[in-house]
Structure 1
Amino acid sequence: MSSPLPPESHGSGTPATDDLPLAKSPPSTQRINLHCWSKLPSELMQLVFDRLGLADFQRAKSVCSSWLSVSRYSEPNNQIPWMIRFPKDNYCLLFNPEEEDKMYKTPNLGNDFAKSSCVASYRSWLLMQPKLEYMEDHQYNLYILDLLTRERINLPSFVTEFGLTCPILWMDEKTKDHLVIGMADDDFGISFKKGDNTWKQIPGIEECFSMVFKDHKLYCLNYYKLKIFDFSGDIPVKVFKTCVSECLKPRGGGGGFMRLPGFPVNDQLSHRKDNMVVTLCGDVLIVQCHRPSFSKIWKFKIDKMVGNNKWEKFVSLRDEAILLDLGITVLAKDMQGIKANSIYFSNPTPYFQDQYDKNEIFIFSLDSNTVEQPHRCVSSSFPRSRSRWFLPSFKRE
């Protein structure tokens, strides 16, 4: 199997054109030679290959001709967050933390890709929304795009002033069933799923600023209530509600922003965001992050729901890491390329900063209370681009 994306050194290279092949059944091995790695049963080798990340997958298939043959019937697995950069062009740059000196370049993703912003992701699927400067009459035409295969799903248009906020994307990679949820002008929730003809309003969701979708449940947070809706049926049903005033306080308006000449915009802005996170075991966390203007120090406060209307300070993630943009945690124990008890996040940007087409991503360690950026080659390649953490999938079930 050819590499799904060609390796690129510091942002140069040729886009790939081949899609990922579907996995096939490998030829059976007739004889087993226990003294030669190249003679291991192909069925056993496929089980090993299917558990390898992209970097180890590429190394393993280059060992010998028999391993290369088996790799053609396997696909790399992935359980660690990658970084995706969006230059002002019709492609993306991908960074794998397992390979600190390499970036990958996607194929051309369409003529309108550069005119859109990625507002949500699920595995290798991106939810794309048109940028304000390319809008007409506030009519938004969103679409879902697989950045590896370039498969595209167009969604019905809807009219709103600010587009879809707090967006959620979910995709069944086998059936291609999909669900998109968000807030329309921050006033009410709307959703669209495969089979619908138009967007539908979700009763009971209003003034929500953070959403997480996990195990067919939608978690909605505002400064007063946390609500949980069950989406397993035809109609969403509210199944839980609790007060968050104990740990979360409404913020007053920040007023206008006056840019000072001679200083980077990101340094002048005060970055602040309140997020909800659902852990692997189903615990609900509220994560508050803040970085004052002209400061390099990030501060995090995490509270965990321990009962109805009860919250307690959360200290350690232990063997997990938070992917703040996705609102989830992932297992990080004994895994190369991801740090346990850490928060992977992009700096929150006010709505008016879209004109600058730039943000940065970081890793915050709860052990040392320090923040770091990814490898230098990532930060130096296309510094004027937007970025986010995501969990790409190279498997096709």
Structure 2
Amino acid sequence: MSKRRKRKSKPASDRITGNGRAAAEVKSENLKQQAWADLPVELLELILSRLIVVDNVRASVVCKRWHSVASSVRAADQSPWLMYFPKSDNCYDFYDPVQRKTYSLEFPELDECRVCYTKDGWLLLCREQWAIYHHFSLFNPFTRELIKLPRFERSYYNAAFSCAPTSAKCVILTVKHVNPTLVAISTCYPGANEWTTVNYQHRSVFVISIWDKLVFSNGLFYCLSLTGWLGVFDPLERTWSVLEIPPPKCLVENFITKDWRKGKFITAHEGNIFVIHICCGEDPIIFKLDQTLMEWKEVKTLGGVTLFASFLSSHSRTYITGIMRNSIYFSKVRFYGKRCISFSLDEHRYYPNKQCHDWVERNAFDTIWIEPPKDFAGWM
């Protein structure tokens, strides 16, 4: 008998042709997608928790599962607290707008001191001596750290600092309006022996008034005048300039008419400069500095950002809570300290309702927003 030759079978991969090959490619692609979608929760949490907030939000739109995990590990910004200055003793109240709770602490270190500014949980304090000398210091009310600065022998209008004094980049600044075309800027840093003061000349074309509000952003101090002009001081280069940007019309009108029922605040968020203008009985108007076109633009939304406005210093936060997003929180509390006045840009209304208020009251400068410690239970 003749032996039949056995036919060698081809590998399955060689037999796939036409529709079969296309089906295999689709199956392979589905396996790849399935692998990403079916990552263990622990691994997803590890990956997404390492992303910055913006990338975390982008990753959350991949699918429902990713959205759930991304939201659970997203590090939301902590809301600042409202600090109340006492009238007589040294007992200070702190109001938490998220929990709607008030905490009280005594600070004998602040006796006879005036709070000028706050940033990164620190206060800039000033105590006058014989109405001639000013003793500045930086104080952390949550750690009780106190850093004294050199004696300041000049008058000033406003003061601020760039960051926490624990950083080598900390700069303290004071601004004095000398005349419509001259401003005196003094600076020092923790550990310095004296202040450095330089007079800067403006171009006379600008109608400049007292420099009223200060904010630090991207290495620069921005100074807003009563008439709405914006000055910029670079502490590294020690240069001063007034931006040739016409101020928002409402700020100029406010100054000309001397309508003190109106007010303004300045703050920064991720390098952007915002000015908030308010008037009794009207909705707040928010302007954003377009640094490309060099002009002020009115904005109708903050894109999820929350602004905390007070006359001494203002702050911004991202992704605090859903109800607080895209809102402005002011430095006043109603209903026996249970509700902070805010304005929602989504709903175009104040909370509590019909809060037509006069922001320039006698106690307008008696409160300030301050960043609390991350673990505030430890110091209570």
Q: Tell me which interval the TM-score lies in, with the shorter structure as reference length.
A: 0.5 to 0.7
Q: Distance in 1 between matches of 2:243 and 2:301?
A: 26
RMSD in angstroms over aligned alpha carbons? Answer: 3.8
Is the Cα–Cα contact under 8 Å of residues 129 and 142 in structure 1 kept in the other structure? Answer: yes
1:208 to 1:240, Cα distance in 2 relative to 1, 3 A: closer
Which residue is 2:138 aligned to? 144
Higher helix residue share: 2
Which residue is 1:272 aligned to? 262
Which residue is 2:217 aligned to? 214
1:304 to 1:337, Cα distance in 2 relative to 1, 3 A: closer
- Residue 97 of structure 1 deviates from its aligned partner by 2.6
The correspondence of residues 4-153 of structure 1 with structure 2, limited to 5 A, is: 79-87=78-86, 88-100=88-100, 102-106=101-105, 108-110=106-108, 113-130=110-127, 135-153=129-147
Q: Distance in 1 between matches of 2:144 and 2:323?
A: 27
Which residue is 2:233 aligned to? 229
Q: Which amino acid aligns with 1:345?
A: F
1:393 to 1:244, Cα distance in 2 relative to 1, 3 A: farther
Which residue is 2:69 aligned to? none
SS of alignment partner, residue 343 of structure 2: strand
Is the Cα–Cα contact under 8 Å of residues 188 and 194 in structure 2 kept in the other structure? Answer: yes
1:179 equivalenced with 2:182 (yes/no): no
SS of alignment partner, residue 249 of structure 1: helix
- Residue 78 of structure 1 deviates from its aligned partner by 6.1
Which residue is 2:150 aligned to? 156
1:285 equivalenced with 2:274 (yes/no): yes
1:364 to 1:238, Cα distance in 2 relative to 1, 3 A: same
Is the Cα–Cα contact under 8 Å of residues 142 and 372 in structure 2 kept in the other structure? Answer: no
- Residue 308 of structure 1 deviates from its aligned partner by 4.1
Q: Distance in 1 between matches of 2:140 and 2:322?
A: 23
Q: Which amino acid aligns with 1:210?
A: K
- Residue 361 of structure 1 deviates from its aligned partner by 6.7
- Residue 312 of structure 1 deviates from its aligned partner by 2.4
> TM-score by structure 2 length?
0.60
> TM-score by structure 1 length?
0.58
Which residue is 2:29 aligned to? none
SS of alignment partner, residue 211 of structure 2: coil
Structure 2: stretches of 5+ with no match in the other structure: 1-41, 51-74, 203-209, 333-338, 353-362
1:205 to 1:213, Cα distance in 2 relative to 1, 3 A: farther
Q: Which among 269, 277, 284 is matched to residue 300 of structure 1?
A: 284
- Residue 202 of structure 1 deviates from its aligned partner by 4.6
Kindly tell me the number of residue pairs found equivalent between the two proteins: 274
Q: Which amino acid aligns with 2:85?
A: F
Q: Which amino acid aligns with 1:305?
A: L
Is the Cα–Cα contact under 8 Å of residues 342 and 351 in structure 2 kept in the other structure? Answer: yes
1:197 equivalenced with 2:193 (yes/no): yes
SS of alignment partner, residue 252 of structure 1: helix
- Residue 211 of structure 1 deviates from its aligned partner by 1.7
Q: Which amino acid aligns with 1:198?
A: E
- Residue 137 of structure 1 deviates from its aligned partner by 3.1
- Residue 147 of structure 1 deviates from its aligned partner by 0.2
Q: Which amino acid aligns with 2:275?
A: I
Residues 67-112 of structure 1, C-alpha deviation per residue, up to 9 Å, x if partnerless? xxxxxxxxx9962121112223223222223322x32223x4225x
1:287 to 1:99, Cα distance in 2 relative to 1, 3 A: closer
Q: Distance in 2 between matches of 1:141 and 1:220?
A: 23
The correspondence of residues 331-342 of structure 1 with structure 2, limited to 5 A, is: 331-332=318-319, 335-336=320-321, 339-342=324-327
Which residue is 2:371 aligned to? 391
1:142 to 1:270, Cα distance in 2 relative to 1, 3 A: same
Q: Which amino acid aligns with 2:83?
A: I
- Residue 395 of structure 1 deviates from its aligned partner by 7.0
Which residue is 2:342 aligned to? 363
Q: Distance in 2 between matches of 1:308 and 1:203?
A: 29
Q: Distance in 1 between matches of 2:148 and 2:91?
A: 19
1:330 equivalenced with 2:317 (yes/no): yes
1:393 to 1:77, Cα distance in 2 relative to 1, 3 A: farther
- Residue 120 of structure 1 deviates from its aligned partner by 0.7
SS of alignment partner, residue 155 of structure 1: strand
- Residue 341 of structure 1 deviates from its aligned partner by 1.4
SS of alignment partner, residue 92 of structure 1: strand
Q: Which amino acid aligns with 1:301?
A: I
SS of alignment partner, residue 192 of structure 2: coil
Q: Distance in 1 between matches of 2:201 and 2:149?
A: 21
- Residue 329 of structure 1 deviates from its aligned partner by 2.3
1:369 to 1:160, Cα distance in 2 relative to 1, 3 A: farther
Is the Cα–Cα contact under 8 Å of residues 118 and 124 in structure 2 kept in the other structure? Answer: yes
Name the % identity: 19
- Residue 343 of structure 1 deviates from its aligned partner by 1.3
Residues 330-359 of structure 1, C-alpha deviation per residue, up to 9 Å, x if partnerless? 103xx3387111112337xxxxxxxxxxxx
Is the Cα–Cα contact under 8 Å of residues 208 and 221 in structure 1 kept in the other structure? Answer: yes
